[in-house]
Amino acid sequence: MKIILSSRKHHYLAIVSTFLITVALIAGIVGCEPTLAQQYDLTIASTAGGSVTMPGEGVFSCDMCVVVILVATPSSGYQFVNWTGDVDTIANVNAASTTITLNGDYSITANFEAIPAGRQYSLTISSVGCGFVNTPGEGIFHYDEGTVVELVANAVGDNPFVKWFGDVSTIADVEDATTTITMNDDYSIIATFKCIGGCFIATAAYGTPMAKEIEILREFRDKYLMTNPVGKGLVEFYYRVSPPIAEFITKHPSLKPIVRVGLLPVVAMSTVAVKTTPAEKMGVVGLLVLVSAALVVCAKRRRGKGPEYSA
């Protein structure tokens, strides 16, 4: 009888754990506290020379999703300038792709201007290994011809910066993490870092920092975690505790498949966050809520049957 009761107790614990994990993932992806009675309106407009392609333009109401991705796209011959209006909770008012946190009814405008007669060039920045580019960031940036752009690459932990690769002919010092590049053409550069002991848990599990799963996790980090103090704290904590765990995984390759299975829910949720529209996100959240409710109902029914006894 004790064996049966112990088994039933573990069964209930598994159901409760699954429910709590689901709720935590929903909160992490949506970035808000569900308040069914409260809704906020976000009014989005743009000036001549471009449009807001995500989530679009007009009035949007949101009761669960309080973090909204903003993407402003300039028309040919124009460039994005900034966001104006109720911009206190916009992560970066000077970035065409950013986020806004809805704590009330907001009205914002994406501003564009005609590109000056002088030539402009694009600078595409990315990173590989255990680090990232902090200044000006990672992505595609546009500068006037002759502009000297500051570059700052930050290694994580004790993992060293290696060098800049790509179109590096006008980089002042390719082996210095803090340097400059002069914009005389369209350039694409990569900051490379060495990973000691596997660097991060995910990197150790997938065997390479170039894995598509890690690219998704990195994009989730940049869009949702690095744009707010709480997210930055979580990233810094992960950076501190991850190296020794990653080293242990690297020394025991048989653990890699197990860790990859454990990372599946995180990768799946990150994919939903960075690869879907707000409407699709709401659909996924609704489905998870239904699944969680079903698990709770199932647990209550099983509990109502009472303990089982053997002869």
**Is pLDDT above 90 for 232?**
no
Q: In this structure, are 25 and 93 located in the same domain?
A: no
- As a residue count, the chain comes to 311
Q: What are phi and psi of 2, to 5 degrees?
A: -60, -35
User: Domain boundary residue among 58, 87, 115?
Assistant: 115
Cβ neighbours of residue 303 under 8 Å, at least 6 residues apart?
12
pLDDT digits (tens, 9 = 90+) for 114-130: 877 678 899 999 887 67
Domain that holds residue 176: 120-270
- Across the range 24-46, mean pLDDT stands at 63
CATH of the domain at 90: 3.10.20
Instruction: Please give the Cα distance from 77 to 114 (Å, whole number).
Output: 6
Query: Are 294 and 249 found together in one domain?
Result: no
User: How much is the mean pLDDT over the chain?
Assistant: 78
Shared domain check, 201 and 100: no
The answer to whether residues 216 and 146 belong to one domain is yes
Domain end among 52, 81, 115: 115
Task: Give the residue from 61, 16, 56 showing the smallest Cα distance to 36.
Answer: 61
Q: How many domains does the chain have?
A: 3
Is there a single domain that holds both residue 128 and residue 254? yes
Indicate if 131 and 1 belong to the same structural domain.
Answer: no
Q: Are residues 138 and 266 in the same domain?
A: yes
pLDDT tier, 179 (very low <50, low <70, confident <90, very high otherwise): very high
Q: What pLDDT, on the 0 to 100 scale, is given for residue 32?
A: 43
What's the mean pLDDT in 188-193?
Answer: 90
The pTM (predicted TM-score) of the whole model is 0.39
CA distance 84 to 127: 31
> In this predicted model, which residue has the larger pLDDT, 123 or 19?
123
Among 90, 115, 140, identify where a domain stops.
115
Dihedral in degrees, nearest 10, Cα atoms 247, 252, 256, 261 = -100
Confidence of residue 23 (pLDDT cuts 50, 70, 90): very low
Average pLDDT over residues 50-63: 88
The pLDDT confidence band at residue 180, using thresholds 50, 70 and 90, is: very high
Using pLDDT thresholds of 50, 70 and 90, give the confidence band for residue 308.
Answer: low
